[in-house]
Amino acid sequence: PQGSEEAKAFVNAFLKHSMPKMKDEAIQDILTRKAVVLEHYSKKKTKQKKKKTKGFTAKQRREMRLFEIEPEQQRYAIFLPLHELWKQYIRDLCHGLKPDVQPHVIQGKLLKADLHGAIVTVTKSKCPSYVGITGIILQEFKHVFKIITKEDKLKVVPKLNNVFSLEIDGFISYIYGSKFQLRASERSAKKFKLKGTIDL
């Protein structure tokens, strides 16, 4: 068995190691009350900040021409399978486009649907040269549609001041471009009014 002095030296050394932030006088003061609370001091872990992966800016995308369609790809026949996929997507979205479905229900779904692959026709326009343009929508931006025609010509048609017609399984819908100036991702969350003033 250890002697009292050895035991005292061991206790002092143990307490000094266990409570490194306390001075010797404070430890002795605690010992006189014969009550010691041992604390564990863990090293603070420095949190590493996660680096957010930044995408390309709009300027960089333009410089890299990410959204440009190469001239050799500007052929109507290439995108016909896309149109077939779009028709199947709309049929699934509208539960088969049954004759007994209310037109405003289908219209509401089409307003929020993705139009890439749809065949549209410009039926009215303040600029007569746009009237009659028909083709598959390849790209939809906030203010314009990029359409490929049967003549393999890529047309950039503004939404503003134009009315587009869209036909699927005998159901014809009209899109008033001036009220449609939104990105495709924004349209899915927007509430469209069924009534209101309609103009070009």
Q: Is the dihedral of CA 22, 23, 24, 29 positive or negative?
A: negative
pLDDT digits (tens, 9 = 90+) for 165-185: 998 888 888 988 888 888 877
At 179, list the tokens.
């009220």
pLDDT interval class at 13 (50, 70, 90):
confident
Q: Kind and range of the H or E element at 138?
A: strand 134-140
pLDDT of residue 3: 63
Q: Which structural domains are found in the chain, ordered by start?
A: 1-32 (no CATH), 73-189 (2.30.30.210)
Predicted pLDDT of residue 193? 65
Answering whether pTM is above 0.75, one says no
Whole-number pLDDT of residue 159: 92
Residue 87: pLDDT over 60: yes
Taking alpha carbons only, the member of 193, 169, 180, 195 closest to residue 95 is 169
Q: Per-residue pLDDT for 53 more than 70?
A: no
pLDDT at 88 over 80: yes
108-147 confidence digits (pLDDT tens): 888 888 999 999 999 999 999 999 999 999 999 889 999 9
